[in-house]
Amino acid sequence: MLPKAKGYAIYPAIVQSNKKTEMVIAPTERSFMLYEGEEYELKIIPVDGDFPSYKEPTSHVILGAVAKDGVLRFSYTFEGEMEFVVWLYHNEKKLQKMNVYALESDLLGLIPLKGDFHGHSYRSDGCDDPVALAGHYREQGYDFFSLTDHNRYYPGAEIDEAYGDLDLGITRVRGEEVHPIGSAVHIVHVGGHTSVCEQYTEDPEGFVELVKPYFDKIPANVPEKYHDRYAKCLWATDRIHAAGGLAIFAHPYWTPGSSQAHNVCQELARLLLTSGMFDAYELVGGMEQHGVNRSVALWNDLRAEQGLRIPVVGSSDVHAVSDDYAFPNYFTICFSKARDNDAIIDAVRKGLSVAVEASGDDHDRAFRCYGHLRLVNYAHFLLKHYFLPMQRICQGEGVAMRSYAMNDAPAALVTLQVEQTKRFCDRFFGRAEAPLPNADIAAFVARARARQLKGPITCGSQIISEKITRRV
């Protein structure tokens, strides 16, 4: 889903709560330059404000501001951590609704990143080229992704080689999908600096010997019929941690009832999730819808019954970007200190992640977020007001990446696209000045308006001022 065009934008859209902030409302298109010296009204409404009854006044604040140089500037203290609606009025006529999110300092210092920890390419059982896959992800507005081909760690290096020293806007998190010989339990390994699967694919006999000591570590409550799979999971997660990676328990309801032997039964899934060996749970993704519902129900049961505390992620488990429903409808939002591999892994390990499930078409898309309420509240705001406009900008970047990979576009084109995306991000989060109309744009608009006022009053004009009645 792409965002609808709007005439005005507010900067910054993310502010520190309980601290006075200098705000700017600026036009996004020339005709919407604010009228010099005229007063506008702002109504600021806290989304989580206290409204005692239907009839009592709402807890909104009304401010006045005078336009200068085509924009409005005002100062305001957004109290509490929540979303705020800002309505722009002129002569009692509503012009547009804008949205601001106030954060406490700990979250304010983190970067929200949209990503996918589980995807496949032509190097295992997927349909897409690894290098092109990076461009497809960026085109959908992803900030990071992990190529986790089955029992293959090396395909990700193809992406690094193809793009060379190019400063991309998307981060490749290292990864592989680990399922040791004789085990149907799939473990997504992301972030590690070395491969785990190569230890059993290149030396199967040696792997058998490596696993033997882990049988002695199996808890007494694990039935004997699960011992082989449980020991191999212990070995795999141990090796993932030694590599500096994150061990994610993947798609517990992958193909229940299938003729293929891929299912992990509920009893074993419970034992694995509560074992402490896994760093995160792939709560949504890689399963049909009924599987996702059961996965969420299992997570809720384990939290209620056993106090399970495990970070959650959403992943597509994509095998073909052209016809896979899961891509781009299942993904993760994490809140990271930086955009690199290690920082993203660290964010998930600390529980700073939200699993996201989307549904609907481009015109009516709904999101369901799972995780801590504080992060979920923030994620919902970002999904609507940040990640959607981000995707529109990233589309060109992803296309340019794929063209560059086939020697059909210069590196400079990708670099310019990345710089454009960075400007949008910096302005949204208040790390850069808002884009303001310059003198040339002001003169252009003044000439256009003067000519408009000399013409006839036509059907379709919006009357937003008693003084001048032909403003668009």
Q: How far is residue 133 from each of residues 120, 123, 156, 355, measured CA to CA in Å?
A: 9, 12, 10, 21
- Sign for the CA dihedral angle at 56, 61, 64, 70 comes to negative
Confidence of residue 360 (pLDDT cuts 50, 70, 90): confident
E strands in 315-415 = 330-336, 353-361, 364-370
SS3 category, 46: strand
Q: What is the pLDDT of residues 147-197, one digit of tens each?
A: 999 999 999 999 999 999 899 999 999 999 999 999 989 999 999 999 999
Contact present, 272 and 315 (Cβ < 8 Å):
no
Length of the chain: 472
Contact present, 215 and 231 (Cβ < 8 Å):
yes
Q: C-alpha dihedral over 291, 294, 299, 305, to 10 degrees?
A: -160
Q: What is the pLDDT of residues 91-114, one digit of tens each?
A: 889 999 999 999 999 999 999 999
Peptide bond into 46 cis (omega under 30): no
pLDDT(261) > 70: no
Torsion angles phi and psi, residue 59, rounded to 5: -85, 50
How far apart (Å, rounded) are the C-alpha atoms in residues 160 and 38?
Answer: 54
pLDDT(244) > 50: yes
**The pLDDT value given to residue 60:** 87
Does the pTM surpass 0.85? The reply is yes
Pick the more confident residue, 12 or 465. 12
Q: What percent of the chain has pLDDT over 90?
A: 81
Contact present, 402 and 132 (Cβ < 8 Å):
yes
